[in-house]
Chains A and B, each alone.
Chain A
Amino acid sequence: MAGEEEVEVLVIGSGAGGAPLANTLVKGGHQVLMLEKGPLLRTQQQSPDGLSDYKRDELFATGAEKRLTVPGMANIGESFYSSHVEPDLNDEPHVYRNSDGKDYATIEGYTAQVVGGGTQLYGGVSLRFTPDDLRLQSFNAGRTDLRNDPNGEVEREARDWPVSYDELEPFYSEAERVVGLCGTRENQEKPASVDHYQPPLQPNPISRYIASGMDSLGMKRYRTPLAVITRDHEPSGRTVPTDHETIKTAFVNRYGDPLGLKSNTWVTLLAPIVGEDNFELRANCVVTHLEAEGGRATRAHYRDPAGNKRTVRFKHVIVACSAIESVRLLALSGVADAGFDRRIQASGMLGNYFVTHCFGGASAVLPERADKSKTLDSDWATDHCATADFVRANGLWAGGAIYNNTSDAALPISLARTWQAQDMDNIWKGYLGETDMVGQGFEDYLEDNFGRRVSVSFMANQVAQRDNRIELHPTVRDKWGRPVAYIVKDWHSHDQELMRILASQCGEILRRAGDGVRFDGEGSVGGQVSRIANHVLGGARFGTDPQDSVLDADCRAWEFENLYVTDGAFMPTSGGANPTLTIQANSLRVGLLLLGRL
C-alpha cells in the first residue's frame, strides 16, 4: 500500500503492560507509536483549560443505570452501572458461562479503557510477588500433603516462571522508582536491593485495630505499598500539595485522580515522554486485528476516534491491552488470517490457563467511628501467610498477601451501593432490597456503619487449570461486529480450601482487633464463578517449552519474530499479591531486552 504509515514499534495498550516498555524504548531512541482504545483523560495540570476529566464525584465511579440488551444472555434486561471509563456492556460485553450452564454478560473482567488502563482506577496496592510465587513447580515437587487435590493436579499444573525472582528484582526496584510509591519495606518477605518508597502518610485511625489484630497474632506488618506519591517525584516531574494530608481522599479505588497523585502509567511513564519526537500516543484508537507475513507480524488494522478504518505497518508489535482483550485480539487476528492463527495457536494454548486470584477476606464494625473520607486504599499489609512455613504447615501450594482496605464504603453513596454486593454485577442490589432501611432503620444503618466498617483482604494464587480459558463467543458481537470474549472458568477444590484458610486468617485479625469490635463475617469469591475481575491474568503464558506455553521467556510469541505480549496474560501463575507492579516490572524487563535487539 503506497504511502501507508510505518513505525518501528507499535504498542497496543497504555496500561501497566505497555507503558513501561514504551518508556524504555523511547528513551533508548526508538520510534514508538502507541494505540489506546480509550480516551486520554488529563490531570488539571496537563489540561489546557485547567480542568481534569476525572472528578471527585461518586457518579463517576458508578454511573447512571443502564440495562443489558445483549441477545442470548441469561441476564438480559438486568440493570448495570459502569464508570465513565469502563466499556459499555451493550457495545462490548465480556460473557462468562455460569455454573447453571447459561451465558451472562458481565462488567467484571475489564480493566479501564483509558490512557493508563487499569492503573487509572485501581486502589494502587503495589506489592511484589514472593520468590516462591515464581517457582511453584519446584516448591511443590513431590509434595503429598496438599489439601483437596485428589488427582494431583496442583503439583502437575504448577509451573516455574522462566524468570527467577533474582532476575526480576532489579526491574521491581526500577518500577518502584519510576512509578512512584509510598510504603515501608521492613517486615516484607520480598527481598529488595534498594528502597525507593516515599514515606507513607499517617494511617487512617480505623487501621489501628488492624495493626492491633496483626500484632496479637504475631503477624509482622508493614505499611501497604501504594502507587500514590507523598513527596515530589523527580522521575515523573510531579509535585504534591503543600499539605500532604490532603492527598488522602476516599476518591481512590475506582476513581481517576484529577491531580495526578495516584501513580498511573499515564502520569508516570507516558506524560514524561509524550513530547519526544520519537513517540506518539493516539488515544481513542482501537486495534481490530493484526496481520502477518509468515513469521513476522506486519500490520495493524485499527479504527480512529471517529471509527474510520486505518492501518499502520510496524517492525515490532507489543500487545498489552489486558489479558482477556489481548488474547481476544490475537484470536481475532487468527480468525482473519489462517497463517496467523496457525502460528499463534502453535501449542494450542492461546486462551488457556486463564487465572485470576483467590480473593476474599473478612469485615467488622468498629466500636469507634473514624473519618474514612480521608484515606488511601490500604494502610497495613502482612506477608505472614506468604511464607514457606505457613504454606507448608497448612497443606497449601502457595501463599498470599493480606492487607486492610480503608477506602471501601467510605462515602455515603458507595456505602449503600456496595452494601452486601460482592461484585460489580450486584452493585446496589443489597441496599435496595433491604427495605427496612428507612426512617429510623436508615438512621440505625448510618449509625452502625458510616465510618465504622473495616475489612481485611487476602490475595493469593489460583491453581492454573487448562480448562479455565478465554475464547471468542460464538454469537455475541461487539459494536464493530467482532466476536466478544467468552470466559469459561471455575475454581479448583484446592482453591476453595486455600480461600477458606486465608479468609479465616483475615477473620482472626478482626477477632483480635480489640474490645468492642463486632465481627461481621468472612468469605471469598470461591462460591462464585462470576467474580473474574479482581485481576485478569494468563491466557498466553510464557515458558521455556514451546509445547507448554504461548510466549517464550522474553514474552515473544513462539512462532513470531516480532510479536510480544506484556500485559498480565504472560503469567503462568497469578502470584500472591495484586499483579500490577509485577506486570510493570516485567514490561521494563522486556523493554530492556528489546533495546538490545532492535
Chain B
Amino acid sequence: MVVATGSKPCFADVPVRRTSRFAGRGGVRWLLDQPQRPSSARQTLPAVVIEKDDQYVLNHCTRYLARDADEPRHDFGQYQPGDPRARIADAWRYPIVDSYFDGASVEASYRFNSVTFVYDGRVSPASDVALTGSFTELHDPVALRQVPFLGEPSGIWALAVRVPKGQVHTYKLRVDGDWRIDPINPQTVTLDNGREWSRFFTEACQIPLTLARRERELLGRIVSHLLPFRSDQNSKFIRQVYESMDRASRERQFPLAYRLDEEVGVVNYIDKVIARAERHNADDYKDCLAIIDGVLRARYPGRDPLTLPPEAFADLYGEMARDDVPGWDRARYGSPRYFLLLLRRHAMTGAFVHPRHGGNSGTAGWAYLESRFRDADGKTLFDWRQAMEAPLGRNTDYRG
C-alpha cells in the first residue's frame, strides 16, 4: 500500500473530479478530465454532510471488518501479495454508496447517493481522522466521528456525505495529521504527478474507469451477439423506448441514462463491476480482449475488427463456447470458454440489473420485456414499474 506522507496534501496533489455528462459546473477548477458536456448539463449541488446513525454504520462494518483472522481469505487474485485488504471481506463495499432520501421527494432524491466513509481504528488506532476529496473543499477537511457502542468508542470512525449519482471522485484520509489513502477501499488512482489517491464512484456512473475506448468497443461487438437486442426489430424497439418519450418524461424517468444501444449499458456495467465488486475479474477482460483483437486481426488481415460483420463475432462465439479458438494465446489465458461464461453472466446481469449498477441503461432491458410480453388485450405481462421506486417505476411506497 502506498501512503502519501506530509501533514497536508501539497497543491500539486489536488484530487480529480471526473464528471458525467449530467454532472455540473460547480468547482470547475477540478475538472481536469471533463468529457464533452452537452447543453443539458445542470448544476451540481455542493456535497453535504448527512446523518447516518450509529446502527447504520455498524450494520455495514461488523460483517466485513470485525475479525481476528489475519490470513488473506478474501484474495481472489485482485490484490498484490501482502495487501492487508485481503484480510477483510468485501473491501470493495467501502466507502458505502447507498440510496439517498431528503425526507420529502423520492424523485428529487434519486439524483443523489449517500456515501459513508469508514476508518477502522482497531487496525490502526487514531485520535483524529478527517478526509478531503474532490467532492468537498480541499483545504477544509471534514472530520470523521467516532462511532460509539454502549457509550464507548467502538473503534470505528465514519462520515457520510451526499454526492450526486454518476460521478467519480478521489479522496484521502488524514489520520493524526498524516495524509494517506483509504486503507480499506481497494480503488486507487495515480494522478499525473505520481501521487496515489483513493477513488470511488457513485451509482449509475457512465464514466469509463477500467476499459479503454477500444476495449469497450470490441466488447460491445461481442456483447451485442450475446444479447437479444441485435435483431432489426429489437434494435428498433430499443431506440423507440427512448425516442418516443417527450423530453420531460425522459428526464424524469431516466435522468442518468447514458446512451441506449444494442448493449443496453452492458459494457458500462462490466466496466463498473470489474472496477469494484469483481476486481478479480478485471485482468480476464484485459487479457481476453487483447487476445480476441489479435485473433480477429490475424483472421481478417487488413481489417479493423470493429468493422467486421456480425458473422465474424458469431463464429468467434461458437469457437469460444467449444473452448477451441484457432490462434488463441493459451499461454496468456488458458480457457476462452471460461471467459465466455464470465461474459455471459455479466451480459445477462448487465442487461436486466437495476440501473443503479450502471447497466440496463434507461431501463431498456426491463422495457424490452415489458413491451415484448403482453396479453391478448395488450396489457403487459412484466409490469416491473408497479414494484419499483420513482422515478423509474410508479410505486408510491417504496423509496429505493
CA–CA, A284 and B356, complex, Å:
27
Judge whether B277 is part of the interface by a CB distance below 8 angstroms. Answer: yes
Whether A369 contacts B69 by the Cβ 8 Å rule is no
Whether A69 contacts B149 by the Cβ 8 Å rule is no
Choose, from A141-149, A443-451, A531-539, A557-565, the stretch at the interface: A443-451
CA–CA, A239 and B63, complex, Å:
32
Closest A residue by C-beta to B230: A439
CA–CA, A450 and B277, complex, Å:
28
Whether B62 contacts A39 by the Cβ 8 Å rule is yes
Whether A306 contacts B61 by the Cβ 8 Å rule is yes
Among the listed B64, B89, B340, which residue makes an inter-chain contact with A435, where contact means beta carbons less than 8 Å apart?
A: B340
Closest B residue by C-beta to A429: B341
Judge whether A258 is part of the interface by a CB distance below 8 angstroms. Answer: yes
Whether A39 contacts B228 by the Cβ 8 Å rule is no
CA–CA, A439 and B232, complex, Å:
12
CA–CA, A306 and B54, complex, Å:
12
Closest A residue by C-beta to B317: A438
- CB-CB under 8 A for A373 and B383, given A65-B281, A69-B74, A306-B62: yes
Whether B101 contacts A50 by the Cβ 8 Å rule is yes
Judge whether A337 is part of the interface by a CB distance below 8 angstroms. Answer: no
Whether B228 contacts A442 by the Cβ 8 Å rule is yes
CA–CA, A443 and B372, complex, Å:
10
Judge whether A259 is part of the interface by a CB distance below 8 angstroms. Answer: yes
CA–CA, A305 and B118, complex, Å:
14
Among the listed A113, A241, A433, which residue makes an inter-chain contact with B341, where contact means beta carbons less than 8 Å apart?
A: A433
Whether A284 contacts B58 by the Cβ 8 Å rule is yes
Whether B228 contacts A439 by the Cβ 8 Å rule is yes
Contacting B at CB under 8 A, from A240-266, are 241, 246, 249-251, 258-259
CA–CA, A56 and B356, complex, Å:
12
Among the listed B50, B56, B122, B349, which residue makes an inter-chain contact with A413, where contact means beta carbons less than 8 Å apart?
A: B349
Contacting B at CB under 8 A, from A290-318, are 303-308
Contacting A at CB under 8 A, from B115-140, are 120, 122
Which residues of A have CB within 8 Å of B64? 88
A502-546 vs B, CB cutoff 8 Å, 1 = contact: the mask equals 000000000000000000000000000000000000000000000
Tell me how far the C-beta of A312 lies from the nearest C-beta in chain B, rounded to whole angstroms. Answer: 11
Which residues of B have CB within 8 Å of A478? 69
Contacting B at CB under 8 A, from A256-278, are 258-259
Which residues of A have CB within 8 Å of B89? 88, 90-91
Whether A65 contacts B154 by the Cβ 8 Å rule is no
Among the listed B51, B68, B280, B387, which residue makes an inter-chain contact with A48, where contact means beta carbons less than 8 Å apart?
A: B51
Judge whether B155 is part of the interface by a CB distance below 8 angstroms. Answer: yes
CA–CA, A87 and B89, complex, Å:
10
Whether B66 contacts A307 by the Cβ 8 Å rule is yes
Judge whether A208 is part of the interface by a CB distance below 8 angstroms. Answer: no
Among the listed A55, A307, A443, which residue makes an inter-chain contact with B400, where contact means beta carbons less than 8 Å apart?
A: A55
Which residues of B have CB within 8 Å of A443? 228, 231
Tell me how far the C-beta of B68 lies from the nearest C-beta in chain A, rounded to whole angstroms. Answer: 5
Which residues of B have CB within 8 Å of A303? 66
Whether A306 contacts B63 by the Cβ 8 Å rule is no
Contacting A at CB under 8 A, from B357-399, are 357, 365-366, 369, 372-373, 375, 380-384, 386-389, 395-399
Whether B399 contacts A50 by the Cβ 8 Å rule is yes
Whether A373 contacts B387 by the Cβ 8 Å rule is yes
Closest A residue by C-beta to B356: A57
Closest A residue by C-beta to B99: A51
Judge whether B4 is part of the interface by a CB distance below 8 angstroms. Answer: no
Closest A residue by C-beta to B365: A412
Whether B73 contacts A90 by the Cβ 8 Å rule is yes
Whether B55 contacts A40 by the Cβ 8 Å rule is yes
Which residues of A have CB within 8 Å of B50? 49
Judge whether B226 is part of the interface by a CB distance below 8 angstroms. Answer: yes
Whether A259 contacts B353 by the Cβ 8 Å rule is no
Whether A369 contacts B381 by the Cβ 8 Å rule is yes
Tell me how far the C-beta of A112 lies from the nearest C-beta in chain B, rounded to whole angstroms. Answer: 12
Judge whether A481 is part of the interface by a CB distance below 8 angstroms. Answer: yes
Whether A251 contacts B387 by the Cβ 8 Å rule is yes
B307-341 vs A, CB cutoff 8 Å, 1 = contact: the mask equals 00000001001000100000000000000010011
Judge whether B300 is part of the interface by a CB distance below 8 angstroms. Answer: no
Which residues of A have CB within 8 Å of B337? 435
Which has the most chain A C-beta neighbours within 10 Å: B273, B351, B383, B384? B384
Whether A283 contacts B58 by the Cβ 8 Å rule is yes
Judge whether A156 is part of the interface by a CB distance below 8 angstroms. Answer: no
CA–CA, A235 and B317, complex, Å:
58
CA–CA, A431 and B352, complex, Å:
15
CA–CA, A48 and B186, complex, Å:
30
Judge whether A53 is part of the interface by a CB distance below 8 angstroms. Answer: yes
Whether B68 contacts A64 by the Cβ 8 Å rule is no
Whether B383 contacts A374 by the Cβ 8 Å rule is yes
- CB-CB under 8 A for A451 and B373, given A67-B280, A306-B154, A416-B348: yes
Judge whether A335 is part of the interface by a CB distance below 8 angstroms. Answer: no
Closest B residue by C-beta to A371: B381
Closest A residue by C-beta to B77: A67
Judge whether B81 is part of the interface by a CB distance below 8 angstroms. Answer: no
Tell me how far the C-beta of A247 lies from the nearest C-beta in chain B, rounded to whole angstroms. Answer: 9
CA–CA, A431 and B351, complex, Å:
15
CA–CA, A371 and B385, complex, Å:
12
Whether A439 contacts B225 by the Cβ 8 Å rule is yes
- CB-CB under 8 A for A479 and B101, given A69-B75, A305-B154: no
Closest A residue by C-beta to B314: A439
Which residues of B have CB within 8 Å of A250? 387
Which residues of A have CB within 8 Å of B353? 57-59, 413
Closest B residue by C-beta to A435: B321
- CB-CB under 8 A for A69 and B227, given A51-B99, A481-B69: no
Which residues of B have CB within 8 Å of A180? none
Whether B369 contacts A450 by the Cβ 8 Å rule is yes
A26-62 vs B, CB cutoff 8 Å, 1 = contact: the mask equals 0000000000001111101001111111011111000
Closest A residue by C-beta to B61: A305
Whether A480 contacts B228 by the Cβ 8 Å rule is no
Which residues of A have CB within 8 Å of B39? none
CA–CA, A26 and B280, complex, Å:
48
Tell me how far the C-beta of B344 lies from the nearest C-beta in chain A, rounded to whole angstroms. Answer: 5
Judge whether A466 is part of the interface by a CB distance below 8 angstroms. Answer: no
Judge whether A336 is part of the interface by a CB distance below 8 angstroms. Answer: no
Residues of B within 8 A of A (CB): 50-53, 55-56, 58-69, 72-76, 89-90, 92, 98-101, 103, 114, 120, 122, 149-150, 154-156, 225-228, 230-231, 273, 277-278, 280-281, 314, 317, 321, 337, 340-341, 344-345, 348-349, 351-354, 356-357, 365-366, 369, 372-373, 375, 380-384, 386-389, 395-400
Q: A91-B69, A478-B69 are in contact. List 5 more A-B contacts (CB 8 A).
A: A51-B100, A65-B278, A249-B387, A369-B373, A370-B381
Question: What are 28 A-B contacts defined by CB distance under 8 Å?
Answer: A42-B55, A48-B51, A57-B354, A59-B354, A59-B357, A63-B277, A64-B92, A67-B280, A69-B72, A246-B386, A249-B386, A284-B62, A304-B149, A306-B62, A371-B381, A373-B384, A373-B386, A412-B366, A412-B369, A413-B349, A413-B353, A417-B348, A435-B341, A438-B317, A439-B228, A439-B230, A479-B69, A481-B69
Residues of A within 8 A of B (CB): 38-42, 44, 47-53, 55-59, 63-67, 69-70, 87-88, 90-91, 113, 241, 246, 249-251, 258-259, 283-284, 303-308, 369-371, 373-374, 411-413, 416-417, 428, 431-433, 435, 438-440, 442-443, 446, 450-451, 477-481
Please provide the 4 A-B residue pairs with the shortest distance between their CB atoms, ordered closest to farther. Answer: A307-B66, A39-B59, A64-B277, A435-B321
